[in-house]
Amino acid sequence: MLATLPLLLLPLSATDTDCAALYRQHRLSDLDLPVDQFDQTEGRGFRVLAAAGCMREAGDLLEAWAARHDPIPRSVHWHIAQMRAEHDDRPAAIAAARRALAAPEAADAVFRWNDYVLATIAFLERDRSAFDRHRDAVAAAAGSHAGNALNLQLLDKLGRHFDLDYRQAQQADRTPP
């Protein structure tokens, strides 16, 4: 049994090494990218690391990018929150999500961004009552803005799997390839 132990650990080490190498590569090449390329373009910036399953490193790259830029768009804070939640670092995810809130958001805003963020924070804090309240506000506005309908799908997935961590809840309804 002891002879097989190093072989069992090898994939974990290789994955960690690959993520670390990918992070180093993108830290050198991506920190000066404009926000639209770094944060909003598939196959660029932090999204390369996230697509590779390197959530911690994707969050680290987002934070390194944010340290070089001012102002920092809400979307960057939100993506930091998502990457930290995917890595199950709830305190860091919650802190970043709070920075992603639109302050102040009008009570009659068509796009219910703050309710979406607050529902996600409530999920991470395991506060079902707050989650349901903010999820319902997004649901009530789902027909008013396409972003609400999309965010509602994500919130409903979290709600169906409230007992799981963020990453598990996000992946729970996927059908295997």
pLDDT value at position 107?
85
Range of the domain at 138: 106-177
pLDDT value at position 103?
83
Residues 61 and 123 in one domain: no
pLDDT value at position 177?
59
How many structural domains compose the chain?
A: 2
**In the chain, which residues have pLDDT < 70?**
1-17, 175-177
Residues 87 and 112 in one domain: no
Q: Say what percent of the chain tops pLDDT 70.
A: 89
Q: Is residue 8 part of a domain?
A: no
Residues 23 and 51 in one domain: yes
Q: Is residue 89 part of a domain?
A: yes
Residue 22 burial by CB count (10 A; 0-12/13-18/19+): exposed, middle or buried?
A: middle
Residues 111 and 94 in one domain: no
- pTM, rounded to two decimals: 0.86
Cα–Cα dist 74/50, whole Å: 18
Q: Is residue 39 part of a domain?
A: yes
Residue after which a domain boundary falls, among 77, 100, 123: 100
Residues 69 and 122 in one domain: no
Residues 112 and 84 in one domain: no
pLDDT value at position 15?
53
Residues 117 and 175 in one domain: yes
Q: Is residue 52 part of a domain?
A: yes
Residues 135 and 162 in one domain: yes
Q: What is the dihedral of CA 52, 120, 153, 36, to 10 degrees?
A: -50
Among 77, 72, 65, smallest CA distance to 31 is for: 65
Q: Is residue 154 part of a domain?
A: yes
Residues 134 and 88 in one domain: no
pLDDT value at position 16?
56
Q: Is residue 2 part of a domain?
A: no
The size of the chain, in residues, is: 177
